[in-house]
Amino acid sequence: MTEFYDNLETRDPAQREADLMAALPSQIALAKATGGYTTFLRDVDPQTINSRETLAALPVTRKSELIELQASKPPFGGLNATPAGKLARLFLSPGPIAEPEGQQADFWRMGRALYAAGFRAGDIIQNCFSYHMTPAGFLFDGAARAVGCAVIPAGIGQTEQQCHMIARFRPVGYVGTPDFLKIILAKADELGVDASSITKALVGGGALLPPLRKEYADRDIQVLQSYGTADVGNIAYESEAQEGMIVEEEIILEIVRPGTGDPVAEGEVGEVVVTLLNQDYPLIRFGTGDLSAILPGISPCGRTAPRIKGWMGRADQRTKIRGMFVDPVQIDRVLKAHGDVSRMRLVVGEEGGLDTVTLQCEATSHDDALAEKIGAAFQAECKIRATVEFADELPKDGKIIDDIRVYE
């Protein structure tokens, strides 16, 4: 049995990086040729975008911008390089936001994640992701076909019927959300249905917490996680090593300071941004809104791609203070206006029913004149006042706005 899905997984890291950067100019050119990226890339020469540094100079494509573009120019905002009528499937997820599926096999590249979770040709999989309107079910259906597995398109809900399908078809594996498998197994126990054929699972769409993973392990089910979105497909996945999540081979992943497009240092928490090397839907620097961080080194399993810590929360820290919305990008503008400050964090609290606003600044100089200057700049930018406090070091946890108010 082959240990790896393909030879891409064990490339020399330097070769992988060279291959990705070599593919970047043509991908930028493809995106520029679409109507949707005309504004974003108008003055960009695609041939000059050939490194992470030049890529980082391009704007981040936000989901909110996708929704606006799609509303003004349906169905895909002009970002699709392949006409809608020549695609395989068209989906509409909550937002609403439309997602395309191209004609090629395993369009979302989930086969790699499924293989790493131990699935092999000839396995039967019970797919408990939705097949209705949104692409989740098809992400994993296409992956199963790529690996050579048979699929039970079970979808969501109908727990008792799910148990009867397990009894009849004896699937060896489950794909779906982390907690739904627990519900199915509990119902099987209640009905006296033997569900012991399921020995492995690949889950997504939510966090697999350690107690739940242990609960499955106690039933001799190995459960690994995948991380992806309906917009870009597979982003990263676990292997049997269970030490972080391995980045998909055919994307360029960056971790940036939330609310900005600026890459952070390795190990620092930030927003996951993905450039998709896809000929049908060439998304450039797509901001997922999810937080993660790069792990040092490579996985003990032998796959040499970079790893991330996994899903660590949401990056959207926009909050309302005293009737005014404050966005992380505003804090970043104040930060960039003060070269003697390396990091800022806005802490929003409550005292006596009133909002408290503290702008924490990581700086070597802690003098009153600098604090007054920063406070004035913050008020001009955000239209509210803040108390400025200095610190020698702020936590590197990705938070730019820390709202500690209790809303219960």
Mean pLDDT of 116-128: 97
pLDDT level of residue 293 (50, 70, 90 thresholds): very high
For the stretch 24-56, pLDDT in tens is 999 999 999 998 888 889 899 999 999 999 999
Instruction: Tell me, yes or no, whether 208 lies in a domain.
Output: yes
- The verdict on whether omega for the bond into residue 395 sits within 30 degrees of 0, i.e. cis, is no
Whether 314 is in a domain gets the answer no
Residues 293 and 357 in one domain: no
Same domain, residue pair 362 and 326: yes
Question: Is the confidence at residue 408, as pLDDT, over 60?
Answer: no
Query: How many domains, in total, are found in the chain?
Result: 2
The answer to whether residues 78 and 134 belong to one domain is: yes
What pLDDT score was predicted for residue 154?
96
What is the pLDDT, as a whole number, of residue 2?
64
Q: Which of 261, 284, 308 is the last residue of a domain?
A: 308
pLDDT above 80 (res 132): yes
Q: pLDDT at position 313, please?
A: 74
CATH number at residue 279: 3.40.50.12780
pLDDT in the model for residue 407:
55
Q: What is the mean pLDDT of residues 1-8?
A: 85
Same domain flag for 356 and 296: no
pLDDT at 195 over 80: yes
Average pLDDT over residues 248-253: 97
Do 344 and 324 belong to one domain? yes
* Predicted pLDDT at 228: 93
Q: What percent of the chain has pLDDT above 70?
A: 98
- pLDDT score for 312: 82
**pTM higher than 0.85:** no
Residue 352: predicted pLDDT: 65
91: pLDDT strictly greater than 70 = yes
Band (pLDDT 50/70/90 cuts) for residue 118 is very high
Same domain as 193, residue 299: yes
Q: Which range is least confidently modeled, 65-79, 185-199, 211-225, 317-331?
A: 317-331
Domain that holds residue 385: 319-403
Residues 255 and 366 in one domain: no
Looking at per-residue pLDDT, the higher value among 342 and 407 belongs to 342
Average pLDDT (240-250) is: 96
Determine, yes or no, domain membership for 2. no
Taking residues 335-341, what's their average pLDDT?
93
Statement to judge: residues 350 and 203 lie in one domain: no
**Is 113 within the bounds of a domain?**
yes
pLDDT reading at 180 higher than 60: yes
If asked whether residues 214 and 326 sit together in one domain, one would say no
- pLDDT of 101: 96
Q: Is residue 354 part of a domain?
A: yes
Please report the pLDDT score of residue 350 as a whole number: 80
**Domain membership flag for residue 388:** yes
Report the pLDDT value the prediction gives residue 323, as an integer from 0 to 100.
62
Least confident of 12-26, 109-123, 307-321, 350-364: 307-321
Is residue 366's pLDDT more than 60?
yes
Residues 361, 384 share a domain:
yes
Q: Is residue 242 part of a domain?
A: yes
Banded pLDDT at 57 (limits 50, 70, 90): very high
Domain shared by 27 and 116, yes or no: yes
Tell whether 327 and 269 lie within a shared domain: no
CATH of the domain at 336: 3.30.300.30
Question: Could you tell me if residue 408 is inside a domain?
Answer: no
